[in-house]
C-alpha cells in the first residue's frame, strides 16, 4: 500500500523535533513520503526537545539522522542528504538556518528544485519575527481566543487542542508544500515557503476577520450564531452530567430538534434575540430529563445536528470511529504494542491496522549518508569525531 500513496518516492528532511514542522512532516509521512528527521547527536543535543514516544504518530514512516550541524563536516553531510531530497522543513528562529549554512540558498545550490519550508510563529520578516511563542500566543494574536466563550473571570479560555500548531502551522505547511511540489512537477521550479503559524490562524478565522474588514463589525462571544448568540448552537448537560453539542443552525434541523424535545412552540423563534433565554432554558430542562447517550441514540439519526461531547477516553471507544478505522496498533521495539490514531486524513492508508514504529534512540545515519554517496571511511571518521551518530 505504501507505494500506492500519493507522496511515495518523495523524500523530506525535517530539522524539527516538535511543533508545527513536526506536525507537517507527520502528515507528509502518512501520505507516503520518506521523512528523515535530522537532529543533533545525543552528546551535542543541548536543549533540544525529544517528544514522548507516542507523539506525532510515534514516528511512523520516518527515519532518523543524527548530525552536528554546527560542525563544518556536519553541514557538508547534511547538504549531501539535501542534494537527494525533494523537501526540507526547518523551524529555527528566522536567520538561524542561514547562519548554520543550511538555509534555502545553500540547499538550492546543491538541489535547485528543492521545496524549502521555514515554519515560524510570526514569519521570517516583520516586527514580531524574532519573538518566541507557542500555540496560545498565535491563537491570541489571530483573534481566536477573543471569539471563544470567556472564562468566569472574563478572560479568554485556553483551547482544548493545539489548533495553531496543528492547523495554523502543520496543515498550513503541508498544504503549501503539496502545492509547491505540484508546481515543481509542472514547471520544474522549486520554492521557498515562509509559513507563519499566526497567519495560518488568520486563515482559520477568515469568516470573522473578513466580516470585520468588510462591515466594521466586531465579532466576539455572542456576536453571531457561531459564537453563542443563539440557543440552536450551544452545549447542554444531560441527566448523567455529560454534555451534548447542538449545532441546529438550519431552520429544518432546528424544527426537527424542537419536535423531538416536544417544544414545537419554539420553532418560529429560532433567531428571535428576545427569546433566546427562554429557548435555552427549555432546552436545558429537556436535556436534563435523560442521559446523554440516550439522547444521542434518539436524536443523532433524526437530522437534529446533535452529537456527544466526548472526553478523550470515550471517543477511543466510539463505534462509528472504530468502524471508520481511525485507530490502529503500533509495534515499538522497546515499548511493545499500543494503540494510536491511524492516518486519518483522506487519501492516507487506513487499511493497515498494525504498524511498526521506530525507536527514537536508534538512527539510520550511516545508511542514509552511504546512500547519499559518502564513502564508508568518511562516514566512520565523522562518527569517530562525534559529528554524526
Q: pLDDT per residue over 279-301, tens digit each? A: 999 999 999 999 999 999 999 99
Q: pLDDT per residue over 157-191, tens digit each? A: 899 999 999 999 999 999 999 999 999 999 999 99
pLDDT at 361: 84
pLDDT at 43: 73
Buried b (16+ CB within 10 A) or exposed e, 132-141: ebebbbbbbb
Strand-by-strand arrangement of the 233-237 sheet: 233-237, 243-247, 306-308
pLDDT at 45: 53
pLDDT at 285: 98
Spot the catalytic one: 134, 210, 212, 294: 134
Per the prediction, the chain carries an average pLDDT of: 95
Query: In this structure, are residues 93 and 66 in contact, taking their beta carbons and an 8 Å threshold?
Result: no
Average pLDDT for 268-275:
98
Share of the chain above pLDDT 70, in %: 98
Q: pLDDT per residue over 77-132, tens digit each? A: 999 999 999 999 999 999 999 999 999 999 999 999 999 999 999 999 999 999 99
Q: What is the pTM of this model?
A: 0.94
Q: 134 an active-site residue?
A: yes
Per residue, the 3-state secondary structure of 247-278, as one string, reads ECCCHHHHHHHHHHCCCHHHHHHCCCHHHHHH
44 falls in which pLDDT band (50, 70, 90)? low
The set of cell numbers assigned to 148 is 471563544
360 falls in which pLDDT band (50, 70, 90)? confident
Rounded (10°) CA dihedral 64, 68, 70, 74: -90
What is the CATH code of the structural domain delimited by 2-203+351-384? 3.40.50.10540
Query: In this structure, are residues 204 and 171 in contact, taking their beta carbons and an 8 Å threshold?
Result: no
Which residue in this structure is represented by grid cell 513520503? 33
pLDDT at 42: 85
Buried b (16+ CB within 10 A) or exposed e, 146-157: bbbeeeeeeebe
Average pLDDT for 343-351:
94
Q: How far apart are CA 304 and CA 247, in angstroms?
A: 8
Query: In this structure, are residues 340 and 58 in contact, taking their beta carbons and an 8 Å threshold?
Result: yes
DSSP assignment, residue 67? Answer: B
The number of beta carbons lying within 10 Å of the beta carbon of residue 62 is: 24
349 falls in which pLDDT band (50, 70, 90)? very high
Spot the catalytic one: 14, 165, 234, 349: 165
Query: Above 70 in pLDDT, residue 46?
Result: no
Average pLDDT for 323-344:
95
pLDDT at 2: 62
50 falls in which pLDDT band (50, 70, 90)? confident
Q: 165 an active-site residue?
A: yes
Query: In this structure, are residues 274 and 325 in contact, taking their beta carbons and an 8 Å threshold?
Result: no
> Cα angle at 352 between 178 and 332, to 5 degrees?
95
Average pLDDT for 48-61:
88
pLDDT at 225: 95
- Domain residues of the chain, as ranges? 2-203+351-384, 225-237+243-308
Query: Above 70 in pLDDT, residue 354?
Result: yes
The set of cell numbers assigned to 377 is 571511511
pLDDT at 195: 98
Domain 225-237+243-308 is of which CATH architecture?
2-Layer Sandwich (3.30)
pLDDT at 1: 58
Amino acid at each position: 500500500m505504501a507505494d500506492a500513496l500519493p507522496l511515495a518516492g518523495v523524500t523530506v528532511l525535517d530539522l524539527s523535533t516538535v511543533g508545527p514542522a513536526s506536525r507537517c512532516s507527520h502528515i507528509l509521512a502518512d501520505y507516503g513520503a520518506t521523512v528523515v528527521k535530522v537532529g543533533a547527536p545525543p552528546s551535542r543535543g543541548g536543549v533540544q526537545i525529544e517528544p514522548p514516544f507516542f507523539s506525532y504518530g510515534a514516528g511512523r514512516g520516518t527515519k532518523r539522522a543524527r548530525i552536528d550541524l554546527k560542525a563544518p563536516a556536519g553541514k557538508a553531510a547534511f547538504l549531501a542528504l539535501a542534494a537527494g531530497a525533494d523537501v526540507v522543513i526547518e523551524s529555527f528562529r528566522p536567520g538561524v538556518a542561514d547562519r548554520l549554512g543550511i538555509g534555502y540558498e545553500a540547499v538550492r545550490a546543491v538541489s535547485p528544485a528543492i521545496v524549502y519550508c521555514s515554519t515560524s510563529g510570526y514569519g521570517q520578516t516583520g516586527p514580531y519575527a524574532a519573538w518566541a511563542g507557542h500555540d496560545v500566543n498565535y491563537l491570541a494574536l489571530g483573534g481566536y481566543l477573543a471569539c471563544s466563550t470567556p472564562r468566569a473571570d472574563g478572560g479568554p479560555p485556553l483551547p482544548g487542542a493545539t489548533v495553531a500548531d496543528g492547523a495554523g502551522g502543520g496543515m498550513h505547511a503541508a498544504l503549501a508544500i503539496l502545492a509547491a511540489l505540484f508546481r515543481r512537477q509542472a514547471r520544474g521550479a522549486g520554492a521557498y515557503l515562509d509559513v507563519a503559524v499566526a497567519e495560518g490562524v488568520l486563515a482559520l478565522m477568515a469568516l470573522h476577520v473578513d466580516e470585520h474588514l468588510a462591515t466594521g463589525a466586531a465579532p466576539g462571544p455572542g456576536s453571531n450564531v457561531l459564537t453563542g448568540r443563539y440557543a440552536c448552537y450551544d452545549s447542554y448537560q444531560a441527566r448523567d452530567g455529560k454534555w451534548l453539542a447542538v449545532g441546529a443552525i438550519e431552520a429544518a434541523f432546528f424544527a426537527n430538534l424542537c419536535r423531538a424535545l416536544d417544544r414545537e412552540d419554539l420553532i418560529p423563534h429560532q433567531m428571535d434575540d428576545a427569546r433566546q433565554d427562554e429557548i435555552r432554558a427549555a432546552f436545558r430542562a429537556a436535556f436534563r430529563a435523560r442521559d446523554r447517550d440516550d439522547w444521542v441514540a434518539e436524536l443523532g439519526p433524526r437530522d437534529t445536528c446533535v452529537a456527544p461531547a466526548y472526553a478523550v477516553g470515550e471517543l477511543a471507544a466510539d463505534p462509528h470511529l472504530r468502524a471508520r478505522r481511525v485507530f490502529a496498533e503500533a509495534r515499538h521495539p522497546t515499548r511493545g504494542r499500543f494503540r494510536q490514531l491511524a492516518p486519518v486524513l483522506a487519501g492516507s492508508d487506513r487499511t493497515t491496522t498494525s504498524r511498526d514504529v521506530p525507536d527514537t534512540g536508534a538512527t539510520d545515519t550511516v545508511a542514509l549518508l552511504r546512500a547519499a554517496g559518502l564513502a564508508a571511511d568518511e562516514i566512520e571518521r565523522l562518527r569517530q569525531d562525534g559529528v554524526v551518530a
